[in-house]
């Protein structure tokens, strides 16, 4: 059993011992962390947009987008999450960043 699967097993045992309120609190904490990560990603993407504007580069970089999607799929598989769902989230993040980049030019 890999280390990742061991932690999954440990988490399920912990979940069985936690109350519903504790589980909901844990989800709230995770949701906050997800939003924090989205904010960090958006900040970095804004910095990318500034560099692109300074260098007169196009907003869209299909090769980079494809690499992001491939990486998202690999990460999803590594953590046992539906890769189509994860890729859909990343498509949305990429599209939001592109809209912001266009508006800032």
What number of other Cβ atoms are within 10 A of residue 46's Cβ? 13
Measured between alpha carbons, how far is 46 from 38 in angstroms, rounded to an integer? 12
Q: What is the mean pLDDT of residues 57-82?
A: 95
H-helix segments, 55-82: 62-78
Neighbours of 101 (CB within 10 A): 19
Which residue has 């580069």 as its token pair?
57
Which pTM value belongs to this model?
A: 0.73
More confidently predicted of 16 and 42: 42
For 9-35, write each residue's pLDDT tens digit.
455 556 677 899 999 999 999 999 999
């Amino acid at each position: 059993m890999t280390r990742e699967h061991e932690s999954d097993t440990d988490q399920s045992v912990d979940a069985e011992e936690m109350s519903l309120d504790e589980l909901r609190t844990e989800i709230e904490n995770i949701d906050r962390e997800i939003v924090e990560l989205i904010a960090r990603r958006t900040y970095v993407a804004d910095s990318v947009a500034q560099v692109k504007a300074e260098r007169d580069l196009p907003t869209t970089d299909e090769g980079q987008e494809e690499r992001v999607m491939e990486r998202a799929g690999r990460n999803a598989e590594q953590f046992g999450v539906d890769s189509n769902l994860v890729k859909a989230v990343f498509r949305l993040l990429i599209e939001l960043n592109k809209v912001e980049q266009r508006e800032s030019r």
